[in-house]
Amino acid sequence: MIDGFLSDAGFFSLPNVKRVDAAPLPVGLLARTHSAGYLEKVRYISATGEGEIDIDTPGFKGIYENAAILSGATVTGVRTVMSGDVEHFFSPTGGFHHAKYDAGGGFCVFNDIAAAVYELKEGGLSRILIADFDVHHGNGTQSYFYEDPEVMVISFHEDPEWMYPHEGYVKETGSGPGLGYKVNMPFPMDSCDGVYRYAFDELVPPLIDFFRPEFILFLPGFDTHYMDRLAHLRLTTHMTRYIAERMHTSAHKWCGGRMGVVTGGGYHPDSLSWGVCTVMSVLSGREYKPPEQKPPFMDDAETWAIVRENVRQVKSLVFPVLGM
């Protein structure tokens, strides 16, 4: 589907865009990312078609191989960037941020984000930013690096009080040496572009400039769009462009351009196609303009009050710990 969106928009004909064949997650990297017991479970389901990864993630024959290649695309992208062959990569199959060391869930089997971080660390990097704007909190990814100051995770997501996976509260800021390096900014239902941009401007640029990342892994959050079927935020593709442009600028400011984009969620074909093509236009420089959009709501006074208070709490919990 995403391949068709990008092809129809003409991105594959650009001289600065190249397609790279994905390789499965290497066995050694997969063994570092997930426990032996969990991998054995996935292999059994894959061989027999019996069982499930989790209550919301059914198993099927071949699921091990399928997940290994889907997640492997992200690591392939990392290796392509680190080789100097390209500055950025965009993996249309990546973003399985709910998978944990010993469990899957939320449609996620293997955590490609965690695997990518381990690959980057193996390559000598020690300041890796995960900028996760998916509407669902990346609880799996956070669990890997909760005590790790070399990995900053900034997550904007819908309020976990009612949104899966019911993690990602403001108070979750890391522990031990990782305290302050996990930043969670939840939004109430019906939040629109205005409050989202306010929170982004208040939190993300100063955190990035403090951390000075060497590589950025970016989930744009296509499922925050007002047309998406699995969530309740009311953003437009204008906000997708706003965030993507600033993450792209930060990558060139701090990382020598090194950035990887993974699709994550997105469950309406129109808003997904607009978002994907918008991000590709930022990465490639090709002009792209999605249709005009009008969300059904505007930010009201209550939404503004909640978001301002959440931003205040994030700043009070994170900024002093980091010495900002």
In terms of Cβ atoms closer than 10 Å to its own Cβ (0-12, 13-18, 19+), residue 309 is exposed
Which of 99, 105, 93, 25 lies closest to 58 in space, CA to CA? 105
Helix axes 112-122, 63-82, angle to 10 degrees: 40
Task: Please give the positions annotated as active site.
Answer: 98
The tokens for 26 are 């290497």
Of 213, 211, 219, 156, which is closest to residue 323 (Cα–Cα)? 211
Yes or no: say if 263 and 91 are a contact pair by the CB < 8 Å rule: yes
Phi, psi of 217, deg, nearest 5: -105, 120
CA distance 30 to 112: 9
